[in-house]
A and B are shown apart, each in its own frame.
Chain A
């Protein structure tokens, strides 16, 4: 009983961050019930894991940070959540996020922004800002988030925690509310590489309910290596541009030195189509989103905004008022790029560019590189409100992360330093379905990198 209470207490203490959407009363009640029912033989027995509010749970509502799903109780749970429970974990509430996972700061939530745990004037990143903040604040050891363009890695970097995105198809998307279907994956935050990896292993594996989930066994975790002897780490020059924040550059250079000291060979590579990654992403993701969000129409679930004389008014007022500005903007862009006359110029062209981006990675890996190392984000956590006036400025935050989503590759961020107290993240990008190599390298780096030291 005391564990559930302690968990609840820690989460309630972190309330000021506005990271948790679940009311304290509901949280306490549910945790107590879950603890009683939890399987003692599970590998995650008793571990509290918070879940981003765009992942369906039977415990607690699923709002996706939106008014259009205010109060929505899902009648089914995501496969990933079911697997957590089967492993004995406790679902420790639902976390705040950018509405429908669209954003890079969690400022686009209909339920208020999330505060950065170390500096309340700053954003924790997004869209999984709530999950990142709770783990960083020590309220839970791990949390689920989701990735479409970097929504786990970027907040992990901003908040100074570990954030992992699996290979596309490694973790079932059944129950993850779709944003960009060909990009989406459930990801994991952890205090350590081990915490994050353990949870990722549990939620991974085949699921007949998701046709894009590969028919594979769950991820097997590697052991912590002695060194990185035999590893070849590639440094893509496009990820170290001249404009890179000097502190970020210093932190990365320090990490690279440590990687070499661990015995890895380090090599410069080129991913020439990188400059096109963000525009490619901002065609494909909104296009898929515009279609995925068509189901939110007030007919079958969620609130209705306005009784209405006829069904089209019902749609338009529900969607016009239920969706926030960023979501509406992306739906509009997505609808436009798919519409007659524009499909070839935008969507089709973006899918071709995507192929070239994926090919860049294959070329690098084919030349004997095992993993790539890059900064996760060009600069540390920015101030709330700083990037709201220009949507493109916000999009540029994803510049180092979207490529892994476009190519479907596993990637992760781990803390590699600080600048004026703000965390900096270093990113590893791995080969498809070789998460174990990526995690192995992360284990080694984590042991030696001075994550909380100024760079």
Chain B
């Protein structure tokens, strides 16, 4: 099988939980981790006689998502019932949106390893409520149902069939996640279930333009499974067609333990959701003022911020991308620069030391921007060697404090006094006469050796650049 002869066509449906305090249609709390069935009420339990009351903040966040994706936000949209039976769907229908959704026609651009800069279409973005959770392995021969999650606000974001590889799907999702985190409308945590994705996958021979039968791939529960699951399904379809078979439209469930997909057997009847406008809810009408308010709440978006960093701080696109990976890091970086640090140096320190430290400490950027700027200045001024500076960074991160004071206390201040350095140089050259001879005969690479010896003699305190200069002077004479 040569995948090069085949083109993969992927579209993604992403469900994102909105960061609100209460649920979409009732005032129950949405906090994660509560004991089962304790964040419930008549509405989200689907008790007889209960009615939905829509959450204004959820609507606002959904509009922000739509605006950030460049969608057309419709001033009037309609909630609709999606009817089906499932134990964790208490009303026997989900309140969603169907033919008059909140937003349509947006875009999301991302970088594809194969194709470079790609712009995927966002076909629609709509509001809906989440279902509860079914747990199948807690009781034997039974399913346990927890309705804490029932009614949590979701937006569903549907892309066009614009992705051409499992890797692109991953990149699209990563970019979408970053965007939504940036605008603060969701935690986008796949492990906690606040970001879920289903994929539509089909294959066609390279050069074909028509779309072939697609399957839906579900149960992709972690970011790392996205590419794997789609690769498995793509390969399965290609193998099937190459052996003379044809792809049937069905739902495939990803099994992460086996890294396989298998058809979901139970839903033999095709889904007839019998959508109709939700009679318990009037139309969702957005005033221009409301939409404008959501627009004004949007921060600078990742792409714009990255471009600005490239221009303002003369960073490379790659460095700017890392430094703008999250709003928190980007803001931190800018504070460090505004505290006086040279932008490129600041970028290096943020990308290496700051992010590495954050990774081990719940993403906290522990060194205050002012302190990091100071450390950078100390290195630039020759007071600290790079190595020494990293030690100081570690100390400030763990215990706080003023960098210079800490450097002094740890005896890390570099000696930049040329007389003192000259003393060490003299000692070193004196102790290594054969090497001096060899150097003067042309083995100039021995300079590194001499610098190392000076560093050793000074117990690391000599400014290595100064040491090298003094050595060069002395050896030239």
Contacts and interface: CB of A to CB of B under 8 A. Distances in A.
Interface of A: 55-56, 62, 64, 69, 72, 74-76, 78, 173-178, 180-182, 208-212, 287-288, 290-291, 293-297, 299-301, 311-312, 315, 335, 338-340, 343, 347
A210 B51 contact: yes
Given A181-B279, A181-B280, A343-B276, A208 B53 contact: yes
Chain B, interface residues (CB within 8 Å), range:
20 to 34
Nearest to A175: B49
Contacts of A180: 279
B282 A299 contact: no
Contacts of B45: 300
Contacts of B91: 294-295
B99 to A, nearest CB: 11
A295 B48 contact: yes
Instruction: In the A-B complex, list the 6 residue pairs whose CB atoms are closest, starting with the nearest.
Output: A294-B92, A181-B279, A338-B274, A182-B279, A177-B48, A175-B49
A336 B184 CA distance: 43
B145 A299 contact: yes
Contacts of B64: none
Give the dominant DSSP class at B's interface: loop
Given A294-B83, A340-B272, A64 B50 contact: no
A36 to B, nearest CB: 27
Contact of B85 (A211, A315, A347): A315
A212 B275 CA distance: 20
A204 B276 CA distance: 28
Interface in B323-339: none
A384 B90 CA distance: 37
B89 to A, nearest CB: 9
Nearest to B43: A209
Contacts of B281: 211-212
A291 B274 contact: yes
A74 B48 contact: yes
A21 B50 CA distance: 22
Contacts of B193: none
Contact of A62 (B48, B52, B274): B48
B475 interface: no
A74 B47 contact: yes
A174 B92 CA distance: 18
Interface string B241-279: 000000000000000000000000000000010111001
Contacts, number: 103
A75 B276 contact: no
A76 B42 contact: yes
Contact of B276 (A74, A210, A212, A291): A291
A347 B276 contact: yes
Contacts of B47: 56, 74-76, 300-301
A287 B275 CA distance: 11
B52 to A, nearest CB: 6
A300 B90 contact: yes
A19 B279 CA distance: 31
A209 B92 contact: no
A294 B54 CA distance: 21
Contacts of B50: 76, 174-175
Given A75-B42, A311-B87, A174 B276 contact: no
B46 interface: yes
Contacts of A64: 48
B439 interface: no
Given A212-B51, A295-B46, 6 more contacts: A64-B48, A76-B49, A211-B52, A295-B92, A296-B48, A338-B274
Nearest to A72: B48
A56 B87 contact: no
5 contacts: A69-B48, A72-B48, A173-B51, A178-B51, A301-B48
Interface string B76-101: 00000101010100111100000000
B143 interface: yes
A55 B29 CA distance: 27
A137 B48 CA distance: 30
Contacts of B85: 294, 297, 312, 315
B38 to A, nearest CB: 14
A98 to B, nearest CB: 16
A211 B276 CA distance: 17
Interface string B200-214: 000000000000000
Nearest to A180: B279
Which residue of A174, A291, A296, A343 has the most chain B CB atoms within 10 A of its CB atom? Answer: A291
Nearest to A309: B141
Residue in B49, B54, B281, B282 with the greatest tally of chain A CB atoms within 10 Å: B49
Most B-side CB within 10 Å, residue of A173, A178, A295, A339: A295
A297 B46 CA distance: 11
A398 to B, nearest CB: 19
Nearest to B270: A340
A339 B272 contact: yes
Interface in B286-312: none
B90 A295 contact: yes
A91 to B, nearest CB: 15
B280 A287 contact: no
Contact of A291 (B49, B83, B145): B83
Contacts of A211: 51-54, 280-282
Given A212-B282, A297-B85, A311-B143, A291 B92 contact: yes
A173 B91 CA distance: 17
Contacts of B282: 211-212
B46 A300 contact: yes
A175 B49 CA distance: 4
Contact of A209 (B48, B51, B81, B274): B51
B49 A294 contact: no
A375 to B, nearest CB: 29
Which among A72, A299, A339, A347 has the greatest number of chain B C-beta atoms within 10 A?
A: A299
A220 B383 CA distance: 84
B81 A74 contact: no
A78 B274 CA distance: 29
Nearest to A183: B279
A294 B274 CA distance: 12
A25 B291 CA distance: 58
Contacts of A296: 48
Contacts of B275: 343
Nearest to B37: A300
B362 to A, nearest CB: 38
A55 B53 contact: no
B184 to A, nearest CB: 27
Contacts of A297: 85, 92
Contacts of B53: 208-211
A335 B274 contact: yes
Nearest to B83: A291
Contact of A56 (B48, B93, B276, B280): B48
Nearest to B143: A311
A55 B92 contact: no
B277 to A, nearest CB: 9
A315 B86 CA distance: 10
Contact of B49 (A178, A288, A338): A178
Contacts of B48: 56, 62, 64, 69, 72, 74, 177-178, 295-296, 301
B135 to A, nearest CB: 14
Contacts of A181: 279-280
